[in-house]
Structure formats: C-alpha cells, structure tokens
Amino acid sequence: MCVAGGWDGFNILSSVELYNPVVNTWTNIASMNTKRCGHALVSYNGRLYTFGGEDDEGIDLNSMESFDPREGKRKLLKPMNEGRWALCGVVYNDEIYAIGGYGLISVERYNIRTNTWTNVGSLNHEREGSCACVVNGKIYVIGGYDVDASKSIEAYDATINEWKIETNMETSRIYASVVAL
C-alpha cells in the first residue's frame, strides 16, 4: 500500500509512505516533487501516478508525476490541461482518467505511451469530491458535490465518448470511497 501527500491538519504534504504487511512497517520513500492534497493517485504496471490536487498556496494543480518503487525514481510528466482539486482518477483501457474536481465537469485522459492529455466527454454535473471505479467496461463516478451533495452515479461509455446518468444512491455522498467487488 502507498499513501501520498494530503494534509496533516496544518500543512500540505509531499511525503510518501509504503506499507509492508509482511513485516507490519511503514517506510518513507522519495517525496513527491510537489506538495498536494485533494489529488488523485493511481497505480499502473508497477508505477504510481499522482496528479492534480491543491498546493499549500491554495492553487489548483495540473501537474502530474510518476514514481517507480523498483528504481526509486520520480519523473515529472506532462501536466493536465487544467488544474483540478478534489478530482478522482482511474486507470481504464491502459490510460489514466482525471475526472471532475472543484467546479469542473471536464474529464481528461492521459496516454502513458505518448505522455499526452486529451479532453474526453464531459460529465453531466460538477463533481467535487466524487469517487470512481471501473466495472464491466465502464467508468462509474459516484456522488460528489455540485450545488449540494449528490446521490447520482454517471457511467462513461468510451465507445461513444459520453457520460450518462445511471441511477441514484439512497444517500448523498461527498468525499466517499468506492471499490469494485
């Protein structure tokens, strides 16, 4: 497991820790290049990708960096097209998606091979503090904040590059977590 950045109640962090359940220990590894909270962190092919968030000056970040734990090296990657705080991110079809964020309906897709970002279909609602996962070939974005807390769930269909409202949860949720079972 890996935990990166965040806020300790006083400061925005750049530190990163790895947990080893075999020996029940946390180890500090190379810090991120940028202090950030409200960011996204995904793993793909053994590398960690951290993107977006907010820095300690309250600026919404568009930066992205990767870390290879085997080599112990960080790498700055091409920034997103816009700064995103309180976004969510997933890996889908070998690409990374940066979804929504404070005041945003836009979604961007990162091509790992070409180090490029492309805008894709926009969400139907702003989604600050939503969560996302991939199930049955679709990206699902759940909850978040627009004018108030949302119960809605949107699904992305890559074949038509479109987000559709799927259903509503029983309870409105902001800053929740989701995992596919």
What would the two tokens of residue 158 be? 């890559």
Residue 9 corresponds to which tokens in the numbers above?
A: 């109640």
- Residue 132: other Cβ atoms inside 10 A: 25
Q: Please provide residue 25's backbone torsions phi and psi, each rounded to the nearest 5 degrees.
A: -135, 150
**Which of 64, 81, 94 is closest to 4 using CA atoms?**
64
Tens digit of each residue's pLDDT, the chain (181 residues):
999 999 999 999 999 999 999 999 999 999 999 999 999 999 999 999 999 999 999 999 999 999 998 998 999 999 999 999 999 999 999 999 999 999 999 999 999 999 999 999 999 999 999 999 999 999 999 999 987 778 999 999 999 999 999 989 999 999 999 999 8
Residue 113 one-letter amino acid: R
Domain ranges of the chain: 2-173
Tokens of 61: 């970040």
- DSSP 8-state secondary structure symbol assigned to residue 37: B
Structure tokens at 178: 């989701």
Query: Which residues are CB-neighbours of 181 under 8 A, at least 6 positions away?
Result: none
According to the CATH classification, is domain 2-173 in 1.10.3720.10?
no
